[in-house]
């Protein structure tokens, strides 16, 4: 089973608006695999929000109110979990530490005007790119942590 967090993936926790790229991921995953949803809110309240925004193809919504690793432990009684899509880095770290793979979902809260479609871009000079690659190689070669388990 695949698991997806509602807050931060499907719903902006601050505005409670739909995250468009989260909707795209939801549609893609529900078209090929069973998907369970989790959040920190009540399943009933989440169910109403999901239905009102057209999210109806998932298998079920797990009851919230407990830490995500605990939710996943309860979900394992329904089957194995392939991975969870999570947007909160602290929760993702806890889930990974508990032994579940995480697909981290990050949505930029701000985009520079230079990154918007139609912005004029000045190509980076080849020499600048080569210098950066060389700088990274030199930095890596002098890093005493290389070879250690991080």
Domain boundaries, the chain: 2-104
pLDDT in tens, 66-115: 788 888 888 889 989 999 999 999 999 999 998 899 999 998 765 666 76
Say yes or no to pLDDT of 50 above 80.
Answer: yes
Torsion sign, CA atoms 89, 93, 98, 100: positive
What mean pLDDT is predicted for residues 33-58?
91
CATH topology assigned to domain 2-104: Rossmann fold (3.40.50)
What mean pLDDT is predicted for residues 125-150?
79
What is the pTM for the complete model shown? 0.72
HSE toward the beta carbon, residue 119, CA cutoff 13 A? 10
């Amino acid at each position: 089973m695949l698991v997806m967090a509602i807050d931060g993936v499907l719903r902006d926790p601050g505005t409670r608006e739909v995250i468009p790229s989260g909707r795209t991921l939801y549609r893609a995953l529900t078209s090929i695999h069973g998907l369970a949803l989790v959040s920190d809110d009540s399943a009933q309240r989440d169910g109403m929000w999901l239905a009102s925004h057209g999210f109806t193809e998932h298998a079920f919504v797990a009851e919230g109110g407990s830490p995500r690793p605990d939710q996943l432990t309860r979900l394992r009684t329904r089957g194995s979990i392939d991975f969870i899509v999570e947007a909160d880095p602290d929760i993702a770290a806890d889930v990974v530490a508990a032994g579940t793979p995480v697909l981290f979902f990050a949505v930029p809260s701000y985009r520079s005007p230079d990154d918007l479609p139609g912005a004029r871009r000045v190509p980076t000079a080849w020499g600048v790119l080569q210098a950066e690659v060389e700088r990274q190689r030199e930095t890596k070669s002098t890093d005493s942590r290389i070879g250690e388990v991080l």
